[in-house]
Amino acid sequence: MKVYPKCHSAVISLTAEEMRRYNHQTGDAEGFANLPLSIKGIMFSVFLREETGKIKVSLRSKGDFDANKMAKQYYHGGGHKNASGG
């Protein structure tokens, strides 16, 4: 996890190599996108996961930060105001 305090955000990534190394099973990373939001001052989190030739993006936010808008604009995704992906 990389925390960016000045931006009130954090990023977690999980590569295919890490998933192989740790024998990742479906569901093991469930909730990772929400973990940074438990850190004081963090209002936005990004979880990047490598999947079969693509990167899956999960965005989470608190308060008025619209994660859905970012998912639509940059990742051709969508969801809800505080939980989106692409």
How many folded domains does the chain comprise? 1
Range of the domain at 71: 2-85
Q: How many CB atoms lie within 10 A of CB 76?
A: 9
Q: In the structure encoding, which two tokens stand for residue 39, read together?
A: 């850190």
Q: In the structure encoding, which two tokens stand for residue 81, read together?
A: 């105001």
With beta carbons less than 8 A apart as the criterion, state whether 85 and 77 touch. Answer: yes
Residue 16's CATH number: 3.10.310.30
**pLDDT above 90 (res 53):** no
pLDDT digits (tens, 9 = 90+) for 6-31: 999 999 999 999 999 999 998 999 99
DSSP state of 40: T
Q: What is the mean pLDDT of residues 40-60?
A: 95
Assessment of whether the complete model's pTM goes beyond 0.75: yes
